[in-house]
Structure 1
């Protein structure tokens, strides 16, 4: 009886309690972090499909050409990415071309390590941050090795840190998101969410403008006057990539036997695209549709702010909604884009884990669908195999579900005036 009383009071740990304490600690989290990253690299190096080809071939070729005097992309030559993307791509060349891929992995893991450390914090590990940390690791495992093999692997941890610091260090968050946006455009959506939700929006805007001005001036000094904004035109010239949400109707047409539509490789953009009746029109409409959708979501956020939405209740769903708009209205649907959803969900799980359980599960399902499609079985999607077109359709529907949930959450945040702990 005495022993049972002690166990009830927590003085004697049960075996289940000991296991929970071990798995819930920092050592377990960091062990999981190392295992997931090592596993992703090992799988990516051995599965068919050349999942790291963009890094080991395309990125390396850009740097090698610059070293050989053939011109620097983004400065001497037009480029599909903003100018600061050359920084991580160039850093990976530090130990020569033969170690390029290994150096890239080291850079990505270093950034993920910094973000994971910020997420875990220096104080006692809270249950909410523990859940967010394990969710992130699970998401990486579900998405697969592509999570480490693109430029998005550089911007994703930067975005996580920015959102985690946004409440107390708005200017630092704004600077990080500005840097991220000049590497890969999508963090600008998080910056837009921060401007909308923050009471210090003027400071956020000024930091973003100052950071962007510094990048542009540096590019002009380096001789990139004709290419500094060239990435906008390069993106606008794209057609419908095969994984894009808007490509689904044409993929179903091909799957059902249509010969009017087809999937072909674009050697200039270096990606597979869908062509057929109406694809050019749809591709041309997606960019203005994206702008209208972003404005509509921001308008809902502004209404929520005026109705007294607390910063912590508004920023996570607003960030998620804006990023979802980028995904749903995008002419490109590359698998690594799923990492854009990580930062808003991590923040939401840290602040409001119960309310963010639904989008966390939906995003995990999106990641799982993505790995089914890429890289091992990607050829089946390119051939418009009905089973894999169905998987892509389910993925798009899940993205729309996340968008719907997040817009609703933004609206409802304005009805709750209590502060989030």
Structure 2
């Protein structure tokens, strides 16, 4: 029986079948559950697209929360018309993720066998999507993560193309910009990666300006910087507990202009002001550590995944915005880690799966309970946020181990030279 399961699990047909089932299930829940997990898609993306098609383009006529290229997949989802916009969005994400799976299952040449570690990475990715829930497909982040996965997988051998892909992803949503910093820090042909990124980013910027965005080209920066502490962010956890213990001093409020819930209380304004500089400092420190690890002689291919994980989880841990879809970002470095290091990346891979499962409990199914500061849901939120901190520490320790010539996340093993 075990041998049969192993044989089936290595067959592409099995992966494609599970891929389709997982995506259909997540779309069904996202479009039909009363909690409206895909509310951003049907209630925000569709009106933005309808406005754009009518000549009033967000990001051009007014500042927008996303870079303007984010409109491309949103407009593509109109393929079945406005009444079936949610289904159209599902098709866009389905095709995007299918490209990722096809890439993982691609053979290196005629007659070549599937790469076992990439097959394992594909199974991990599908499990991650299922555990994260409908939010894994129901946000614009799904497109950027798909691009980031492929970019990281090819970064060592095709840095120029990786730079181009990360530039495109950054013009959809900003977070992949940190990955080009990682690639430039680690890969040997860093100049190619940087040239690919900068040239593509500038070219897209020129197209955005030609579209008439003008002063609103970088409006997404001001839109994000003006935010307070979102309730799911790790930094907000003490105030969320305070809202339960002392509602008169801490509370949760809905901010209509950015469609999110924020926590307020003593010290929240200071914390909000501090988080962005802290995020920059931590990210810089992680990159410096990565550079030192590479300089110590560690193989770049081994450094790329833990360094990517450390800097991406840092974006979640030290961010005043804690949207559940941010957890999706973790898929990119972990898929790379599993595909290149296999069992040596098992610890962070399992921790990220746990983080995904807890995030689905929080959103969409437990969100009302969280807004009401119910103790059980506050505990789930706290554990999830602690897990993010653990993943960050594990990734940093993994980098330190590589610097000292040890195998990633395995205390008794050393790298072979």
Normalization by structure 1: what TM-score? 0.93
Correspondent of 2:104 among 115, 119, 123: 119
Aligned to 1:348: 337
- C-alpha distance in 2 between matches for 1:21 and 1:94: 39
Q: Does the CA contact (< 8 Å) of 1:158 and 1:177 recur in 2? A: yes
Pairing of 1:76-87 with structure 2 (within 5 A): 76-87=61-72
- C-alpha distance in 2 between matches for 1:146 and 1:355: 29
Q: Which runs of 5+ in 2 are unaligned?
A: 407-413
Pairing of 1:269-348 with structure 2 (within 5 A): 269-348=258-337
Aligned to 1:9: none
How many residue pairs match? The answer is: 406
- Confirm whether residue 180 of structure 1 aligns to residue 186 of structure 2: no
- C-alpha distance in 2 between matches for 1:278 and 1:225: 37
SS where residue 60 of structure 2 aligns? coil
Aligned to 1:227: 216
Correspondent of 2:12 among 26, 30, 36: 26
SS where residue 344 of structure 2 aligns? coil
Pairing of 1:50-89 with structure 2 (within 5 A): 50-69=36-55, 71-89=56-74
- 1:80-122 per-residue CA deviation (whole Å, 9 max, x = no partner) reads 1112111111211233212211111111010100001111222
- C-alpha distance in 1 between matches for 2:199 and 2:93: 27
Aligned to 2:83: 98
Report the alpha carbon displacement of residue 158 of structure 1 after superposing the two structures with TM: 0.7
Aligned to 1:107: 92
Report the alpha carbon displacement of residue 420 of structure 1 after superposing the two structures with TM: 8.6
- Confirm whether residue 263 of structure 1 aligns to residue 252 of structure 2: yes
- C-alpha distance in 1 between matches for 2:169 and 2:203: 14
Q: Does the CA contact (< 8 Å) of 1:36 and 1:141 recur in 2? A: yes
- Confirm whether residue 414 of structure 1 aligns to residue 400 of structure 2: no
- Could you say what the CA RMSD is over the residues aligned between the two structures, in angstroms? 1.6
- C-alpha distance in 1 between matches for 2:330 and 2:416: 22
Aligned to 1:7: none
Correspondent of 2:391 among 382, 402, 406: 402
Aligned to 2:198: 209
Q: Which runs of 5+ in 1 are unaligned?
A: 1-14
Deviation larger for 104-113 or 45-54: 45-54
- 1:225-269 per-residue CA deviation (whole Å, 9 max, x = no partner) reads 111111111100001111111110100001113311111110101
Q: Does the CA contact (< 8 Å) of 2:29 and 2:37 recur in 1? A: no
- C-alpha distance in 2 between matches for 1:40 and 1:124: 31
Normalization by structure 2: what TM-score? 0.94
Correspondent of 1:384 among 373, 382, 407: 373
- 1:165-186 per-residue CA deviation (whole Å, 9 max, x = no partner) reads 1121111111111111111111
- C-alpha distance in 2 between matches for 1:356 and 1:51: 31
SS where residue 49 of structure 1 aligns? coil
Q: Does the CA contact (< 8 Å) of 1:310 and 1:416 recur in 2? A: no
Q: State the structure with more CA Rg.
A: 1
- Confirm whether residue 142 of structure 1 aligns to residue 131 of structure 2: yes
Runs of 4+ in structure 1 over 4 Å off: 417-421
- C-alpha distance in 2 between matches for 1:268 and 1:19: 51
